[in-house]
Amino acid sequence: MYGTRENRHYLKEKGIHYAGKPLGRPKKETLANKAELKAAKKQRHADYVQRIPIEGKFGQGKSGYGLNRIKAKTAKTSYAWINSIFLVMNLLVLLRSFLPSAVIYDLIRQLKIQIGRYYDDGNQNGSLVF
C-alpha cells in the first residue's frame, strides 16, 4: 500500500498504524524536538524491522508455493486458493517440529511437482489431479 494522503486517511479511520515517513518537508531539528524526532525515527525503524519476516513469508509463498500463479476467475475462488496455500505453509511449519527434515523435503518436493503439473496442464475445472 502506498502512503498517499487518501490511503493514510483510510488507515487512520480504521485505527491502523501507518509505519511510513510523514508527508511534507521534514521538521527542522531543534533542542526542543530533538528527542521527539529521534523517537519517531526509532519507531519507524522498529515497524520496518517487524515487517521483514512478514514480507519474507509472502515472498516464500510466491516463489515456492505458487502464490503468484493464482488465476482463479472469481474473488471467492482466489480467496480459497490463497488460504489453502498459507494453510499448507503453516502445516509444514508444524511438520518440521515432528518429522526429520529429509521426509519434509521429499513431501515439499512432491507437493511442488503436483502444483506445477496443475498449472502446466492448464487445468481449468478447479480440481487438483494427483
CA distance 124 to 122: 6
For 60-108, the pLDDT digits (tens) are 889 888 888 888 889 999 999 999 999 988 888 888 787 777 777 787 7
For 19-72, the pLDDT digits (tens) are 888 899 988 999 999 999 999 999 999 999 998 998 898 998 898 888 888 888
- Give residue 8's pLDDT: 93
> What's the DSSP call for residue 31?
T
Task: Give yes or no for residue 117 having a pLDDT over 70.
Answer: no
- Give residue 129's pLDDT: 41
> Helices 75-98 & 101-120, crossing angle to 10 degrees?
160
pLDDT category at 128 given cuts 50, 70, 90 is very low
